[in-house]
Amino acid sequence: MVKPLVFATAPLPDALRTELESTCRLRLWDAADPPTQPQLRESLTDCAGLLCTLNERVDAMLLAASPDLRVISTCSVGVDHIDMEAVSARGIPVGHTPRVLTDATADLTLALLLACARRIPEADRYVRSGNWSQTPGWDPTRLVGRDLRDTTLGLIGLGPIGQAVARRAAGFGLHVIGWTPSVRAVAEVESTDFDTLVRTADILSLHIALAPQTRHLINADVLARMRPGALLINTARGPLVDEPALVEALASGHLGGAGLDVFDPEPAATAHPLFDLPNVVLAPHIGSATTGTRARMAQLAASNLLLGLQGQPMRYCANPYVEAKR
């Protein structure tokens, strides 16, 4: 029996590559940059499986050029880079990697929150620039931040990552409130409506999936309703936020700061206006970037792929109704 051909768009650990090659023929993308859309179409033409990341866009045009494709597995939680309607219409199950990156992303959320609240990047720049050495002595007004205890943290989205953030925030004495489109009671979180959360939170943190109805959920109107001096943290997806409106809210002083791990689009442009704002902490989409988490993501993505190729239920499938029909 001929082994199915799989295209992998990112490097694989040696052990995982060996595991895949025991049951599949692997076509590996080994260039430093991710494949362009034409390169992706060419590489996938005769493949039964695609092992990808959020760099690759899977749309109707790609599917039309990939008649043999029957399984997709992405090394990400979000599937907004995949046209789920088109792949589901083709009967292609899509594996993804939730749960394994919950703790790493929650940790980064708290790191960005702390960095903004205590102005750590500003302090770092102050010391490195030599300004501190030119102003000797202890100054009680220098780089004053904000207390976290009894501050209100508002969570938009109460899935696994939102819940993990809530548990960590409780340890800092934050009062945690939350809103989610679905009805969900979460320990350590006071549920409220969206408008109340936006108006009440001292710190607003996003943990909701990107979908057509959540694109630019945080727009100019929402930003205007936030408390003066509030902080915005986003470790979810860049397009949840209207970036020009955010820049305006930060530059005007209405918002006190922002901690962003995601942008729209990615990577962020080299001359992005956010780069000129001192009250913004930026990271290059590293929510899951720990050695252990990335290894678990790759293993889960590979497992989903192999199970799908064998016609078995994936460990995590983003369109399980397609699996049910197979």
Q: Which residues are part of the catalytic machinery?
A: 237, 266, 285
Query: Whole-angstrom Cα distance, residue 248 to residue 273?
Result: 10
221 CB contacts (<8 Å, ≥6 apart)? none
Q: Which 8-state DSSP code applies to residue 145?
A: -
Query: Whole-angstrom Cα distance, residue 103 to residue 225?
Result: 30
CA nearest to 255, candidates 241, 240, 271: 241
Tokens representing 288 are 């899951």
Q: Which 8-state DSSP code applies to residue 70?
A: -
Q: Which amino acid is at 232?
A: L
Identify any residues that bridge with 58 across adjacent strands, giving them in sequence order.
82
Identify any residues that bridge with 113 across adjacent strands, giving them in sequence order.
none
Query: Whole-angstrom Cα distance, residue 56 to residue 61?
Result: 13
Residue showing tokens 């501050």:
151
- Pairing of β 71-74 and β 49-52: parallel
Residue 192 burial (CB < 10 Å; 0-12/13-18/19+)?
middle
Omega of the bond leading into 267 within 30 degrees of 0 (cis): yes
Angle (nearest 5°) at CA 33 between 32 and 37 = 140
Q: Which amino acid is at 149?
A: R
Spatial contact of 40 and 21, defined as CB atoms under 8 Å apart: no
